[in-house]
Amino acid sequence: MHDDIKSKLNPSQYEAVTTVDGAVLVIAGAGSGKTRAIEYRVAHLVEKGIDPKSILLLTFTRKAAHEMLSRASRHDPRCKDVEGGTFHSFAFKVLKKYAHILGLSGSFSILDESDASEAVHRCGSKLDFFDKERKTPKKDTLRSIISMSVNKGLSVSDILDKEYPHFTYLASEIEKLRKEYAAYKIQKNYLDYDDLLVFLRILLGKTDVHKKLSAKYRYIMVDEYQDTNIIQGDIAYLLAKDHGNIMAVGDDAQSIYGFRGSSHKNIMDFPGKFKNCKVIKLEDNYRSTQSILDIANTVLENMNNKYSKCLKSVRHEEGARPSLNFFKNAYDEAGWIVSRIKELRDEGIDTHHQAVLFRAAYISIPLQAELSRHGIPYQVFGGLKFYETAHVKDLIAHMKVISNHRDEIAWHRVLTHIEGIGPKTADRLTEEIIGKSSLAEVIDKVLAPSDRPEKALKNTKRLASFLKSASSFKVGPGTLYDLTFDYYFPIMQGKFDDWHIRLNDLEALRQISSRYESLAELLGDFAIEPPDRGVLKVEAKSHEDEKPIVLSTIHSAKGLEWDTVFLIGLVDGVLPSAFALNDAESIEEESRLLYVAVTRAKDRLFLSLCHEGMRGGISQFNKISRFIDSSNILARLDQNLSEEVSDGDSFDLDDGDGINISYDKDSLLKDVLEF
DNA sequence: CCGCGGAGTGTTTTT
DNA sequence: CACTCCGCGG
């Protein structure tokens, strides 16, 4: 192994890998072999005889943790016992064990974003916050204001000044609401995503739990450190302060999570927090050709905050010049990308070595349609998760009330799906339900009485019998799913016109459920480490074993790389996002996002945009992104107009000149109605 | 009090 | 375009 290390790493990587004790900050430019350094370091520690269970690897996504540990396991199988995960999943695990120290039950439920909004709404109603006489923020906005104040460590009024100046007059009331919401969650044994971090910090900072944890985890590693927020930074510090063995890895130029409170200050302050912190820089780029890096470097150069980085390719290849491609509309663009993908595939670049990246998931919809049309399988990362869709949330809510019969948010959802029961009755019943000591009692005492209208009665009975069979004998999550589905299916058909499409998601949920041993585990994982939206099944006749091409938001593409990258939607309002245009700091983050996107490409980079944009149903002319429309970037790109690049694949119709007009409106209507 | 239909609104990124 | 909010009829 040792010779292996020396031959496979450059001197800086080698130093990072072989520094075992003390604090180390690794500043790693894009493509500089950061993942490789972590992979080898984990393997090296284990080889040295360090117990893998005493190594903790905190990453930003579960995917990243999994990737690094499975790579490390190839060097030494013991590496699979290393603890790895996101801050949130780690917090979940620790809190399950130690929540009682904070006076909380270990069987808390996790509120996802929409649950949290519901909860905020309940608290607001209780405080008579929603006054019809005045304009108040919606529940989602309130939740996000409160969350931002937690994650950025600022007061509600600071957040309002910055993000919602028109609501500043409500500052003290929203502050009150924030407190009410916090109290509500503690009382109901709910934790939202922020609480996981906040409570872990309290546990580590104010109790002796940090002693136990730092005795257990002797070696801490944190990836993507530039994307941690203040709370996460504190957690890392508290975990490591007793022994000082911590390695943080990051790149300040790739900080793209400012919107949820990440702060590049963490990375700057890191060396000051730990004595004798070693700082190692990885600067050589192993990934991309020089002409791709030239674009990346120019993006950095154009920013106000200067980053000292200048990426240099060690591949010694100029490579193909990246191109900028203009299209009339999204369909032309999609058609062109699909034919280019096929071309490259025929040249031997497999589709899973290609990726299409975008700022926001909705940008990719026309492309998804085009890929399906051509039978090319694809997988979408980022954007709306399938667990956030209404039908999946519905089904999960039914499983939640079985897991925790005091989950009032889940009950409310379940009850309002019964015909004849509306929000008011649901509130009243929920109130009764949470006073009961068991689900059986709920079924007998609350759901049985018959003082309701005929229709509601029948449906309540159906619910009661479903709950009885689902809870009366020990059913595993798989069986429970089936029972829940049988109950929910007719409701779903009534609620959604497109229920048949939604069945796909439920099928995915069925498969996931059947893999779990316990319901509590399923629900916990579902909130914290949600599965990605499944591969879209496309009948790929000629290329059956073809791996899907990745379509991903730039955020979700972090840390990954492909031979060929298509970056679409390079217009003002998309990248940079319309949301960021008023604020210099946000604009900077958008341009770091562009930096992250272009540095994902190894060999080929295609930038594109289309001029026909839709906003709120009104079409408008899209302007080229301000980041691209600068002479030093344009000079490095080959530019193609859509006429030159379009091929025979898209529809090419003339305007029908020369065909006799044989219809008037009446005869058209007549023909239409015939069918 | 429920549920339907019409009007209005705002639209990112993730755990 | 999709989701939420509001007002009215049953």
Which pLDDT belongs to residue A653?
45
Q: Quote the CA–CA distance of A600 and A295 in Å, as a whole number.
A: 12
pLDDT band for position A499 (50/70/90)? confident
For strand C, is any atom closer than 7 Å to the CB of A133? no
User: What's the DSSP call for residue A400?
Assistant: H
**Residue A138: pLDDT above 70?**
yes
pLDDT tens, position by position, A315-335: 888 899 999 999 988 888 999
Which pLDDT belongs to residue A533?
59
The whole-number Å distance from A362's CA to B12's C1' is 10
Question: Exposure of A472 by Cβ count < 10 A (0-12 exposed, 13-18 middle, 19+ buried)?
Answer: exposed
For strand C, is any atom closer than 7 Å to the CB of A134? no
The whole-number Å distance from A420's CA to B6's C1' is 22
**Residue A539: pLDDT above 50?**
no
pLDDT tens, position by position, A396-423: 999 999 988 889 999 999 999 998 888 8
**Residue A500: pLDDT above 90?**
no
Q: Residues of A324-352 as b/e, b for ≥16 C-beta within 10 angstroms?
A: bbbbebbbbbbbbbbbbbeebbeeebebe
| Nearest nucleotide to A258, CA against C1' atoms | B13
Q: H or E element: which one contains A382?
A: none
| Nearest nucleotide to A415, CA against C1' atoms | B2
| Nearest nucleotide to A494, CA against C1' atoms | B3
Q: Quote the CA–CA distance of A395 and A410 in Å, as a whole number.
A: 10
pLDDT tens, position by position, A72-130: 999 999 999 999 999 999 999 999 999 999 988 888 999 999 899 999 998 988 888 88
Instruction: Tell me what percent of the residues of chain A surpass a pLDDT of 70.
Output: 90
Lowest mean pLDDT among A206-210, A454-458, A504-508: A454-458
For strand C, is any atom closer than 7 Å to the CB of A139? yes
pLDDT band for position A450 (50/70/90)? low
| Nearest nucleotide to A140, CA against C1' atoms | C4
pLDDT tens, position by position, A349-390: 999 999 999 999 989 988 988 998 888 888 888 877 778 888
Which pLDDT belongs to residue A661?
57
| Nearest nucleotide to A136, CA against C1' atoms | C5
Which pLDDT belongs to residue A148?
92
The alpha carbon torsion through A289, A291, A296, A301 (nearest 10 deg) reads 140
pLDDT band for position A673 (50/70/90)? low
The whole-number Å distance from A576's CA to C2's C1' is 24
pLDDT tens, position by position, A192-236: 999 999 999 999 999 999 999 999 999 999 999 999 999 999 999
List bases, strand C, within 7 Å of protein CB: 1, 3-6
The whole-number Å distance from A417's CA to C9's C1' is 21
If DSSP codes are grouped into helix, strand and coil, which group holds residue A307? Answer: coil
Which pLDDT belongs to residue A538?
40
The whole-number Å distance from A149's CA to C2's C1' is 29
Lowest mean pLDDT among A257-261, A277-281, A565-569: A257-261
Protein residue closest via CA to C1' of B12: A360
pLDDT tens, position by position, A613-658: 766 556 678 889 999 998 898 889 988 886 544 443 444 444 455 5
Are A155 and A264 a contacting pair, CB within 8 Å?
Answer: no
Mean pLDDT over all residues of chain A?
87
**Residue A544: pLDDT above 70?**
no
| Nearest nucleotide to A532, CA against C1' atoms | B14
| Nearest nucleotide to A135, CA against C1' atoms | C5
pLDDT tens, position by position, A237-273: 999 999 999 999 999 899 999 988 998 889 989 999 9
Which pLDDT belongs to residue A226?
94
List bases, strand B, within 7 Å of protein CB: 1-3, 10-15
pLDDT band for position A540 (50/70/90)? very low
Q: Quote the CA–CA distance of A22 and A278 in Å, as a whole number.
A: 8
The whole-number Å distance from A138's CA to C4's C1' is 9
